[in-house]
Structure 1
Amino acid sequence: MSSLFDSFWRAAAYCLIPRVIALSLLPLLLIAIVAGVSTYFFWDSAVVSVQQMLGDSGLLSGLWNWLASMGWSHVTDYLAPLLVVLAAVPVIVLIALLSVAVFMTPALVNLVAQRRFPHLARKKGASLLASVVWSALSTVAALLALVVSSPLWLIPPLVLLLPPLIWGWLTYRVMSFDALSEHASKEERKEIFARHRYSLLGIGIVCGFLGAAPSLVWASAVVFAAAFLVLIPVAIWIYTLVFAFSSLWFTHYCLTALEALRTERKETALEVPGTIVATEEAAPTLAGDQPLALPDPSVIKPGNN
Structure 2
Amino acid sequence: MSTHPEALPVVVRSAGFEGVGLAIGRALRSQCRGPMLLALLLPLFVAVISAIALLWFFGATLSDWLQSAASSYNVTLGAVDGMLIPIVVGIILLPIAGILGLVAAAIFVMPLVLRHLNERDYPGLQRLGGHVFFPSLWNATWVMVVFAVGWVLSLPLWMVPPLAIVAHVGWWAFAFTKIMRLDALADHATPQERKILQARHNRGFWALGTICALINFLVPPAWFLLPVLSALMFSHFGLEALRRLRSETQP
Secondary structure at the aligned position of 2:40 is classed as helix
Task: Return the index of the structure with the highest Cα Rg.
Answer: 1
Provide, for residues 45-76 of structure 1, a one-character-per-residue CA deviation record: whole Å limited to 9, x for no partner: xxxxxxxxxxxxxxxxxxxxxxxxxxxxxxxx
For residues 137 and 43 of structure 2, the distance between their equivalents in structure 1, rounded to whole angstroms, comes to 21
For residues 138 and 242 of structure 1, the distance between their equivalents in structure 2, rounded to whole angstroms, comes to 17
Please report how far the alpha carbon of residue 169 of structure 1 lies from its aligned counterpart in structure 2 after TM superposition.
1.5
| Structure 1 gaps, min length 5 | 35-89, 217-237, 271-305
Q: Structure 1 residues 148 and 192 mapped into 2: Cα distance closer, same or farther (>3 Å)?
A: farther
Instruction: Name the counterpart of 1:9.
Output: 25
- Tell whether 2:235 aligns with 1:258: no
8 Å contact from structure 2 (residues 169, 217) kept in 1:
no
8 Å contact from structure 1 (residues 126, 186) kept in 2:
no
Normalised by the length of structure 2, the TM-score is 0.63
Please report how far the alpha carbon of residue 134 of structure 1 lies from its aligned counterpart in structure 2 after TM superposition.
1.0
Instruction: Name the counterpart of 1:86.
Output: none
Q: Structure 1 residues 153 and 178 mapped into 2: Cα distance closer, same or farther (>3 Å)?
A: same
Instruction: Name the counterpart of 2:214.
Output: 209
For residues 250 and 12 of structure 1, the distance between their equivalents in structure 2, rounded to whole angstroms, comes to 12
In structure 2, give the amino acid aligned to 1:180.
L
For residues 250 and 5 of structure 1, the distance between their equivalents in structure 2, rounded to whole angstroms, comes to 11
Please report how far the alpha carbon of residue 148 of structure 1 lies from its aligned counterpart in structure 2 after TM superposition.
4.8
Secondary structure at the aligned position of 2:119 is classed as helix
Q: Structure 1 residues 29 and 132 mapped into 2: Cα distance closer, same or farther (>3 Å)?
A: closer
8 Å contact from structure 1 (residues 180, 254) kept in 2:
yes
Instruction: Name the counterpart of 2:111.
Output: 106
Secondary structure at the aligned position of 1:161 is classed as helix
8 Å contact from structure 1 (residues 24, 241) kept in 2:
yes
Instruction: Name the counterpart of 1:117.
Output: 122
Instruction: Name the counterpart of 2:165.
Output: 160
Aligned length: 186
For residues 185 and 130 of structure 2, the distance between their equivalents in structure 1, rounded to whole angstroms, comes to 8
For residues 156 and 28 of structure 1, the distance between their equivalents in structure 2, rounded to whole angstroms, comes to 28
- Give the superposed CA RMSD: 3.1
In structure 2, give the amino acid aligned to 1:178.
D
The residue correspondences of 1:126-141 to structure 2 (distance < 5 A) are 126-141=131-146
Instruction: Name the counterpart of 2:189.
Output: 184
Please report how far the alpha carbon of residue 253 of structure 1 lies from its aligned counterpart in structure 2 after TM superposition.
0.2
For residues 140 and 30 of structure 1, the distance between their equivalents in structure 2, rounded to whole angstroms, comes to 17
| Structure 2 gaps, min length 5 | 1-16, 50-93
- Tell whether 2:232 aligns with 1:248: yes
Provide, for residues 19-59 of structure 1, a one-character-per-residue CA deviation record: whole Å limited to 9, x for no partner: 2122224578899xx9xxxxxxxxxxxxxxxxxxxxxxxxx
Q: Structure 1 residues 182 and 194 mapped into 2: Cα distance closer, same or farther (>3 Å)?
A: same
Q: Structure 1 residues 100 and 158 mapped into 2: Cα distance closer, same or farther (>3 Å)?
A: closer
8 Å contact from structure 1 (residues 123, 185) kept in 2:
yes
Secondary structure at the aligned position of 1:119 is classed as coil
8 Å contact from structure 2 (residues 136, 182) kept in 1:
yes
Please report how far the alpha carbon of residue 10 of structure 1 lies from its aligned counterpart in structure 2 after TM superposition.
0.8
Please report how far the alpha carbon of residue 149 of structure 1 lies from its aligned counterpart in structure 2 after TM superposition.
4.2
8 Å contact from structure 2 (residues 27, 229) kept in 1:
yes
Provide, for residues 196-252 of structure 1, a one-character-per-residue CA deviation record: whole Å limited to 9, x for no partner: 112111111211232347745xxxxxxxxxxxxxxxxxxxxx534222111101100
Secondary structure at the aligned position of 1:160 is classed as helix
Normalised by the length of structure 1, the TM-score is 0.53
For residues 107 and 157 of structure 1, the distance between their equivalents in structure 2, rounded to whole angstroms, comes to 38
8 Å contact from structure 1 (residues 126, 185) kept in 2:
no
